Amino acid sequence: MTQSAAKPIYVLNGPNLNLLGEREPEIYGRATLADIEAACRARAQSHGFHIVFRQTNVEGELIGWLHEARSAGCAVVLNAAGWTHTSVALHDAVKAIAIPVIETHLSNPGAREPFRHVSYVSMAAKGVIAGFGAQSYLLAIDAAAACAAPSS
């Protein structure tokens, strides 16, 4: 299978990320979620992949998308936002899928409030990219593409 015919990379976003560009720009930057989506599409295309890009404020919907990605995707870039630090159900969903999940954050949770220092997602993810603003997503796309590319 060629990369252009490969399954998509899922880019899944959790709560409040629909407010990017407006909500706490000193922490999350001025890029909107639409800006990030466009950049992710371009980066994935440069690797020969396409993406499924989604955002939700409903935890069960995000879990359903992870379940969908199990068979329909080749990798997941996941910014679970606040659920990163609270959701055992999300941890279990990530753990239940065999494709690589790259946890992604705009800010560096380890440099923020103590309650953000624990990530239930990290315990099940392939890796974590955080603290580089919108660039975090592009680095995560690079990692997902590398994990999903057929070995030569």
- Report the alpha-carbon distance of residue 51 to residue 40 in Å, rounded: 8
124-152 tens-digit pLDDT: 999 999 999 999 999 999 999 999 877 54
pLDDT of 4 reads 46
Question: What is the residue extent of each domain of the chain?
Answer: 3-148
* pTM of the entire predicted model: 0.91
CATH class of the domain at 3-148: alpha beta
- Report the alpha-carbon distance of residue 117 to residue 140 in Å, rounded: 20
SS3 120: coil
Name the nearest CA neighbour of 11 among 65, 86, 67.
65
Active-site residues: which are they? 28, 105
pLDDT of 151 reads 59
23-51 tens-digit pLDDT: 877 777 789 999 999 999 999 999 999 99
Dihedrals φ, ψ of 149, to 5°?
Answer: -65, 140
H-assigned helices in the chain: 25-28, 33-46, 59-72, 88-95, 135-148
